[in-house]
Amino acid sequence: MTIHTYAQIVRRRWRIMLGLLATCVIAALLWSVTTTPMYRSSASVYFSLSYGNSAVDLSQGSSYTQAQMESYAMLATSPRVLGEVATMLPFPATEAQLAREVSTSVAAGTVIIHISASDRSPQHAAAIANKVTDVLGVTAKSLSPKDSRGRPTVDVYAVGAARVPTKPAVPATKRNVAAGFLGGLILAFAIGVLRDKLDDKVRCAADLSDVVDKPVLGEVTMPRRSRWSGGAQLPVRDVPLSGRAESYRKLRTNLRFMQVGSGRSSVVITSSEESEGKTTTALNLAFACAEAGDRVLLIDADLRKPAVAQRLGIEGSAGLSSILSGLSAFEDVVQPSGADNKLFVLPSGAVPPNPGQLLSSSQMAVLVQCLADDYDIVILDCPPLGPVTDAALIAHLTSGAVLVAGAGSVSQSRLAESVRALEQGGAKLLGVVLARKRFRSGRDRTYGGAESGRHTTAVPQADAPELDSPELPVELVGKPSVRTGATVQASVRRG
């Protein structure tokens, strides 16, 4: 992994990493605040032999003393010493308490023992260390070998008396916070890398290339929070100079290079899961193609959760389901949208009890074929492939399918399942669109650095030009009544 890879992990996981780091620092700070302060004071004791005149005697005596230093250090914390110290202190103390508070260490290669004492009171800590030093000296002399005159052969000198400390040794708040920060940083980075390795969500175009052997047709940006009601913002229609609108125009151009939209064709827009941006992509692509002069038909083929009519603020009670059920003719339910009579919309109509059966019927196949012959491009907004198979049933009737992948919302495994579903249905996958949810509002930057967050003046739906019936590409004749329930027969009438 390169530095750039780690930087991307930090950018994707910065929230959880920052949370772990803050948790560790706060935990260290709370531990420091809630810990009872303990003061520590130390004294030093020097040991030497009291006999020997020659250099050899002095050398042997020094070696003997060094060899006994560990024994003297253990003697300082023995019951014999601490028990006597407990009786001599001017404040109440027990031998067991002193055993917990007194510690010793020997400086390597020396005959000096450091005696440390800890207590909640700084005065008590200094008094304990000094008293242990005094008692240790007396005890060591009493236990040492005696010379011919009965004098002890070991001398003990206090070379550093314990002083009253001014700051507590525990807790060391700065050190604890620094350790918490360092530990939190390591833990946060480790967890971030681990989660990134275990997470197979699609994040960038490179992730798409690892799963789909098809080109990435475009990267479009979706707002993080959107309120898609009637009249909601669509970049190509409402903010045509924005960078988001330009991303849909690039998608249109790439589709033309794929020989989709350059002639009479039809394309399915679908996704793997809900809320990945398929409907938004279909709407903006339709406006982008109409903007380029194509006669476009947008069909809401999502008969389970239709959204096109609501997004465009048009009547959606009758539409595709009405035609397939034999209740309406095409010219009665198709609606114009926008200016110049270039974009037409076929809503989904009422939600039927059998959407899969309607979409796989022969009427649907005939309808798609007739419409593709009379419009420059037909765009079908289909349900996601994960929950249902409707999109796969329709896609093989068209020129191909475009799969929308929501960055950060769909997993690579689910995306691979969607690709297999299209292939098994005999559909041609044209490519993938990466939908990034980046902005929290409609604000976007246009070319040149200017910001554009306001809607441009759009033609109201009520004032849109009426559809000229002689120019209708498809007419469904033999329209049945609700009572008879006769089958729908389609014929092409070209104006």
* pLDDT > 50? residue 285: yes
Provide the phi-psi class of 293: left if phi over 0, else alpha when psi is between -120 and 50, else beta: left
Count of residues for the chain?
495
pLDDT tens digits, one per residue of 404-434: 998 888 888 899 999 999 988 889 999 999 9
pLDDT score recorded for residue 267: 94
Q: Which residue has the higher pLDDT, 32 or 150?
A: 32
pLDDT score recorded for residue 91: 93
What's the pLDDT band for 339 if we cut at 50, 70, 90?
A: low
What's the pLDDT band for 246 if we cut at 50, 70, 90?
A: very high
Matching residue, tokens 């609501």 = 310
Q: Which residue has the higher pLDDT, 15 or 300?
A: 300
CA distance 408 to 162: 63
pLDDT tens digits, one per residue of 448-483: 444 344 333 333 333 333 333 333 333 333 333 332
pLDDT score recorded for residue 492: 35
Overall pTM > 0.75:
no
What's the pLDDT band for 229 if we cut at 50, 70, 90?
A: very low
51-55, 339-343, 366-370: least confident range? 51-55
CA distance 488 to 343: 25
pLDDT tens digits, one per residue of 303-319: 999 999 999 989 998 99
C-alpha dihedral sign at 302, 307, 313, 315? positive
Task: Please give the average per-residue pLDDT across 161-186, as a whole number.
Answer: 91
pLDDT score recorded for residue 284: 94
* pLDDT > 70? residue 149: yes
Q: What is the mean pLDDT of the chain?
A: 81
By CB neighbour count within 10 A (0-12 exposed, 13-18 middle, 19+ buried), where does 63 fall?
exposed
Cis preceding-peptide flag for 470 (omega within 30 of 0): no
Q: Which residue has the higher pLDDT, 352 or 56?
A: 352
Which residues does 96 contact at the CB level (< 8 Å), separation at least 6? none
The percentage of the chain sitting over the pLDDT mark of 90, rounded to a whole number, equals 45
What's the pLDDT band for 495 if we cut at 50, 70, 90?
A: very low
CA distances from 80 to 35, 45, 85 (A): 32, 18, 9
Do residues 162 and 136 lie in contact, with contact meaning Cβ atoms separated by under 8 Å? no
Matching residue, tokens 């040492």 = 144
The percentage of the chain sitting over the pLDDT mark of 70, rounded to a whole number, equals 81
* pLDDT > 90? residue 104: yes
C-alpha dihedral sign at 132, 137, 140, 143? negative
Matching residue, tokens 């007419």 = 475
- Nearest of 282, 224, 275, 281 to residue 410 by alpha carbon: 275
The HSE-up count of residue 350 (CA atoms within 13 Å, CB side) is 9
Do residues 116 and 42 lie in contact, with contact meaning Cβ atoms separated by under 8 Å? yes
Max avg pLDDT among 186-200, 206-220, 414-428, 466-480: 414-428
Task: Please give the average per-residue pLDDT across 204-232, as a whole number.
Answer: 71
- Return the structure tokens found at 468: 């000229």
